[in-house]
Amino acid sequence: MLIDTSITVAYRCSSCGSFEFFSVSMFKLLHSEYSLACRCRKSCITMKREGGNSFLIRIPCIGCDNEHTYLFTRKSILFGEPVVFNCPETGIQMCFVGRDEAVCNKIDDLEKEFDKLLDTYGYESYFRNTRVMIDTLNRIHDIALCGNIICECGDADIGLVLLSDCILLRCGRCGGSTRIPAAKTSDLKKTLGMSHVLISRDAFRYREGLLTGQSGNKLGK
């Protein structure tokens, strides 16, 4: 009987933000360390055996800029659902390890979310960076679910508009709004680090001129 001991690692690169897939032999992993670099060459994860049937995986995190270390067992990887590694700080799912099919299904689920958003907003090129937009949107939803999007005026009726490079949060009562940049991976990192969004009553707060009549130098900088 042939036993396939290869597993798939899907890693969301901490530098360029795209998913990179690696095929790893559990058998080889017993004897040697793996260092797996993203195709952008700017980040890599390492895997090695840590006694018995346990393995250590070290993942640079797109969410918080730290490196996280996790322990997993061979059994957990080869059977059932893939193991998902989340950032403990931001909750972002940054790595999936398991049988190839299971990992791919997991990624497909993420892509489905993607497609739903594209259906709603038309074509992919609408967004400066669709992946960053989706992750930002998910984070904003999480923050909203915790009741942590607040307007200075005290209203809870917050509306959300997706623009090509940012998410606009608008207060239904006072018209105050705030803009969450969502064009670059660095924008995403900032958003992942937020636990609250405070919408300012002052509608002329934008720095980049979405509205006219603003004064960008109010603070005298």
Q: How far is the CB of 45 from Zn ion (least distance, A)?
A: 11
User: Residues touching Zn ion: how many (CB under 5 A)?
Assistant: 17
Which of 103, 143, 151, 188 is the binder for Zn ion (CB under 5 A)? 151
Site map (CB under 5 A) of Zn ion, residues 67-106, x = contact: --------------------x-x-----------------
* Residue 26 C-beta-side C-alpha neighbours within 13 Å: 22
Closest distance between Zn ion and the C-beta of residue 13, in Å? Answer: 3
Could you give the 3-state DSSP secondary structure of residue 124?
helix
If one asks whether residue 64 binds Zn ion (CB under 5 A), the answer comes out as yes
13 binds Zn ion (CB under 5 A): yes
Q: Helices 130-145 and 100-121 meet at what angle, rounded to 10? A: 90
The amino acid that residue 133 corresponds to is M
User: Pairing relation of β-strands 166-171 and 158-162?
Assistant: antiparallel
Walk across the sheet containing 93-98 and list its strands.
19-25, 6-12, 93-98, 83-86
Percent helix / strand / coil, the chain, rounded to 5: 25, 30, 40
Segment interacting with Zn ion, rule: CB under 5 A, options 4-12, 22-30, 33-41, 110-118: 33-41
Rounded to a whole number of angstroms, the minimum distance from the CB of residue 210 to Zn ion is 17
By beta-carbon proximity to Zn ion, the closer residue of 137 and 149 is 149
With contacts defined by CB under 5 A, name the span among 12-20, 99-107, 127-135, 209-217 that binds Zn ion.
12-20
Return contacts of 54-57, CB within 8 angstroms, 24+ apart.
55/29, 57/85, 57/95, 57/97
Q: How far apart are CA 24 and CA 148, in angstroms?
A: 41
Q: Which stretch binds Zn ion (CB under 5 A): 54-62, 121-129, 185-193, 203-211?
A: 54-62
Q: By CB under 5 A, name the binding residues for Zn ion.
A: 13, 15-16, 38, 40, 61, 63-64, 87, 89, 151, 153, 155, 171, 173-174, 176
